[in-house]
Amino acid sequence: MHDIEPHYSWRHLYIASEDSRSPFYGREYSEIEFSNTIYDHFIHPQWDQIGSSTLYIKLLYVSYENGFCIIELLGEWNDCLYNDIMYLKRNIADALIEYGISEFILLGENVLNFHASENDYYQEWADDIENGWIACINFRDHILDEIQDAYLDYYLAVGGSLNDISWRNLSPLQVYERVKSHIKKRLPV
């Protein structure tokens, strides 16, 4: 796991630690000291802690003008044992919502497991972004099954064409436009 780095091709466009509105403003990173772990596996030092012991993120891009952000996830999303959604909602989403972010793109290729629990924080998040959305991109099939089995797909846009977006070679705005077009197709007229 220590070889899995957050996506870095957009660093010339946005760096969360240099954004005064970011929850990670002022954070300093080491390139040589691996101190964070998921269970007994060290992870790359560029990943950001959100309060969970199993889920880390990287805030890859924020557009305050367009009201969206792109967040890459790593680890195990475990609401049963660690209430990871609470950390994601309280420590990250709330801070971004305060500055007008209402459309969230969650990149899930590096989420290895998902364990659902209550839906309270998902419902709160959806309520807080009344006309916005939370889109889960490229999550593994077993994770999508767990999300759907827990009826969290009422709050999260998951699966289908959202799981086939090749985002790494696109600009953040292109990713946003593609996700947005998929979301619009799902919304009732």
Q: Per the domain annotation, does 57 fall within a domain?
A: no
pLDDT in 10s for each residue of the chain, 189 residues: 667 899 999 999 999 999 999 999 999 988 778 888 998 889 989 999 999 999 999 999 999 999 999 999 999 999 999 999 999 999 999 999 999 999 999 999 999 999 999 999 999 999 999 899 999 999 999 999 999 999 999 999 999 999 999 999 999 999 999 999 999 876 554
Q: Per the domain annotation, does 12 fall within a domain?
A: no
Structural domain span for residue 106: 63-136+147-186
- For the domain that residue 96 is a member of, what is the CATH number? 3.30.750
pLDDT of residue 35: 82
CB 136 within 8 A of CB 155: no
Q: Per the domain annotation, does 166 fall within a domain?
A: yes
Q: Per the domain annotation, does 122 fall within a domain?
A: yes
77-117 tens-digit pLDDT: 999 999 999 999 999 999 999 999 999 999 999 999 999 99
pLDDT of residue 189: 44
pLDDT of residue 119: 96
pLDDT of residue 150: 97
Q: Per the domain annotation, does 155 fall within a domain?
A: yes
Q: Per the domain annotation, does 35 fall within a domain?
A: no
Q: Per the domain annotation, does 90 fall within a domain?
A: yes
pTM of the full structure: 0.96
Q: Per the domain annotation, does 167 fall within a domain?
A: yes
CB 114 within 8 A of CB 151: no
What's the number of domains the chain is made of?
A: 1
Neighbour count for residue 2 (Cβ, 10 Å): 12
The tokens 């919502």 sit on which residue? 97
pLDDT of residue 184: 86
CB 67 within 8 A of CB 101: yes
pLDDT of residue 102: 98
